[in-house]
Structure 1
Amino acid sequence: MASMSDNVSGAATKFRLALIQLAVSPLKASNLSKVRTLVKEAALKGAKVVALPECFNSPYGTNYFPEYAEKIPGESTQVLSEVAKEHGIHLIGGSIPEEDGGKLYNACTVFAPNGSMLMKYRKIHLFDIDVPGKICFRESEAFSPGSTMCTFDTPYCKIGIGICYDIRFAELAHVYTKRGCQLLVYPGAFSMTTGPAHWELLQRARAVDNQVYIAAVSPAHNENDSYVAWGHSSVVNPWGEVVAKAGSEETIIYADIDLKYLSDIRQQIPVLKQKRQDLYSVQAVQN
C-alpha cells in the first residue's frame, strides 16, 4: 500500500526542505566548517533538499567580493560536493563570489546526492539601489550580471533558482513556473531597510502569483557586520501562507513541501490554466 507521502506512481508527494540561516564570519574556513556541521544536522532531521544563504563563504560587501572570489569548481564548491554526497541530499549552495575570465559573478551552485554539480546560476538582477538617508548599495561595482535562468530536477519536483534581488522581478518566477517548477528558492541578504518592508511581502506575492512554494534563505543578522542582513529566512506555501520562519539568529528551519497540496490549490483556483491576456497587444480606447 502506498504511504501518505506517495502518489499512485510511487513518486513522493512530500519532502522536507531545510534552510540554513548561517552566521557568516570573515574567516572562510570557519564558514565552510559550519556548513559541514549544519548540513549534517539538517540531513539527520530528514531534510532531502538543503539550502544555504547568499554569500555564505564571504561577508557581503563589494570590498569583500574580490578577496573571497573563487573559481568554480574551487574550495567552497568542493565542500558542497562532499557534504551533498556524504548525506545523500540535494544541496543548494546559496551563493559565492565567483571569478571567471577576469569578471566576478554572484553565483549559486547546486549539487546532487552523488556529489555532482547539477547547475550554476549567476545572479541576473544586480542589487543597485539608493534609498536616501537609509541605504545606497551598488552590487554592479563588483559583479557582472548573469544571463541564464536555471532549474534542476529532483525525485520530488523541479526547482528554480534566483538570488536575492531577483525575487523582485515577477517575470523570472513566472517563467520558472511555466517551465514546471513547483518550488523556487532565493538565497538572499535583504538589508535592514528593505527586509522589514518587502522580504516577506515579495515571497508571498511570488507564491500566490504562481501557485508555487517559495523559500528565501538569508544570512543571520549581525549588528557588527558592515552590511547587516535582515535574516528571517522563510518558506511560503502556494496559498501565500508563511509555513516556516526564522528569527534573526543562526538557525535551521524546516518545511515539509506538499506537492499534493500545491496541486489542489491549482485545481481550486486554476489561474495557470487560463490564457493570460497580453496587455501590450490591446489598443487603448481613445476618448
Structure 2
Amino acid sequence: MKIAVLQMTAGFDPAENAAVLAQAVRDAKAGGADMLFTPEMSNMLDRNRVRAAETIRSEDEDLVLAAIRSAAVEAGIWVHLGSLAVKGDLPDAKWRNRGVVIAPDGSIAARYDKIHLFDVDLQSGESWRESSVYEGGDRAVAVQLPGAVLGLSICYDIRFPAVYSALSRAGADIVAVPAAFTVPTGQAHWHVLLRARAIESACFVVAAAQTGTHADGRSTYGRSLVIDPWGDVLLDMGEVPGLGFAELDLARIADVRARVPVIANRRPVAEAVRP
C-alpha cells in the first residue's frame, strides 16, 4: 500500500486551505498513492475564536470537505482529512474536532471526533483551552480500507494509550495521528510517543502534521512521520510543507506480531489497588 502524507501550514481562510488540499489529492494520485493523509485542522487553523466562529460551518456546509470529496472522486483515491473544525449537530452545541475518511466514490466512510481535548499551560507561556469551544468524542473508530483496517485518532490522543489499545482490539493495521503539535511539546515528545504507539500496537502509524508559522500567529512542529510496526521511521518530513510518500508493507505486521506477540498476549487489567 502506497500512501501520501501532506504537511501543511494551514491558515484561517478555508478557501485557501481547500486549494492546497485539492492539489495534494491530485499530486498524491499522480505519485501513485492509494491514500492521502492530511493534518489536524486541515480546513482552518485559527486560535482567534471570535474570527473562527464567523468561518466555521456544519459538516454539510463545510466547503473544504465538499471540495475534497469532489477531488477524491476525480482522482479515484482514498483521503483521510485528518480533522476539520465543524459545528456540532445541535444549534447550541460546541464545535467538533472531526476526522473524516473519504472513499474514492466521494462517500464518507468514517468519522471520528477527537476524544482528548488539549487544555494546558506550557512553560513557554502558551495556554490552550480546547474544551472551552470543542466537545470531545466518546468512542474510538476504525474503518475497513481495501486490504487494511485504519484506526483514527487526533493529536493529543497520542498521550492516552487506551485509545490505541481499543483500536488494536478493533483490528487496526494502520493508525492515523493527524496533528498540530506545539513546538515545545513536539521537541520533547513527538517522535518517542509515536514510536511507542506503533510498537505497543504492532501497527503502522501515519502522523500528518501542521508545520511552521501560521496566519493566526501560532507555530507548529511539523516532522510528519510514518512509522512501521517495529518502531522504525519510514518517513520524516522535517519542517518544510509539502507531500511525502511511503510504502506500507502490510505483511510486516504479521511478521512483527509473530516476533513479539503483544496483541495475542494482551490481557485485561483491573484497576490498581493500594493495600
Alignment TM class, shorter chain as reference: over 0.9
| Deviates most, 184-193 or 144-153 | 144-153
Report the equivalent of 1:171: 162
Report the equivalent of 1:6: none
CA deviation after TM superposition for structure 1 residue 223, in Å: 6.5
Report the equivalent of 2:82: 94
Q: C-alpha root-mean-square deviation of aligned residues, in Å? A: 1.7
Instruction: Find the residue that maps to 2:221 and give its secondary structure.
Output: coil
CA deviation after TM superposition for structure 1 residue 47, in Å: 0.9
Report the equivalent of 1:238: 229
Instruction: Indicate if the aligned counterparts of 2:12 and 2:216 stay in contact, CA closer than 8 A.
Output: no
Instruction: Indicate if the aligned counterparts of 2:114 and 2:154 stay in contact, CA closer than 8 A.
Output: yes
Quick one: distance in 2 between partners of 1:119 and 1:275? 27
The structure 2 residue matched to 1:30, chosen from 3, 11, 16, is 16
Seen in structure 2, the aligned counterparts of structure 1 residues 34 and 89 have a Cα distance that, compared at 3 Å, is same
Report the equivalent of 2:212: 221
Report the equivalent of 1:162: 153
Quick one: distance in 1 between partners of 2:230 and 2:258? 12
Instruction: Find the residue that maps to 1:132 and give its secondary structure.
Output: coil
CA deviation after TM superposition for structure 1 residue 227, in Å: 1.6
Report the equivalent of 1:202: 193
Instruction: Find the residue that maps to 2:211 and give its secondary structure.
Output: coil
Report the equivalent of 1:252: 243
Quick one: distance in 2 between partners of 1:280 and 1:26? 43
Seen in structure 2, the aligned counterparts of structure 1 residues 120 and 277 have a Cα distance that, compared at 3 Å, is closer
Report the equivalent of 1:77: 65
Report whether the alignment pairs 1:43 with 2:43: no
Instruction: Indicate if the aligned counterparts of 1:66 and 1:142 stay in contact, CA closer than 8 A.
Output: no
Quick one: distance in 1 between partners of 2:225 and 2:77? 20
- Structure 2 unaligned runs (5+)? none
Instruction: Indicate if the aligned counterparts of 1:129 and 1:136 stay in contact, CA closer than 8 A.
Output: yes
Instruction: Find the residue that maps to 1:280 and give its secondary structure.
Output: coil
Instruction: Indicate if the aligned counterparts of 1:23 and 1:249 stay in contact, CA closer than 8 A.
Output: no
- Structure 1 unaligned runs (5+)? 1-14
The structure 1 residue matched to 2:265, chosen from 256, 274, 278, is 274
Counterpart residue identity of residue 17, structure 2: N
The structure 1 residue matched to 2:172, chosen from 171, 181, 189, is 181
Number of residue pairs the alignment of both structures matches: 270
> TM-score of the superposition, structure 1-length normalised?
0.89
Quick one: distance in 2 between partners of 1:19 and 1:172? 22
Quick one: distance in 2 between partners of 1:117 and 1:150? 13
Instruction: Indicate if the aligned counterparts of 2:98 and 2:113 stay in contact, CA closer than 8 A.
Output: yes
Quick one: distance in 2 between partners of 1:17 and 1:174? 24
Quick one: distance in 1 between partners of 2:245 and 2:82? 16
Report whether the alignment pairs 1:191 with 2:178: no
The structure 2 residue matched to 1:125, chosen from 116, 122, 140, is 116
Which deviations, in whole Å up to 9, do the C-alpha atoms of 1:158-213 show, x marking residues without a partner? 00111110111100001100110010001110001101111111100100111011
CA deviation after TM superposition for structure 1 residue 59, in Å: 2.0
| Deviates most, 138-147 or 221-230 | 221-230
Instruction: Find the residue that maps to 2:82 and give its secondary structure.
Output: coil
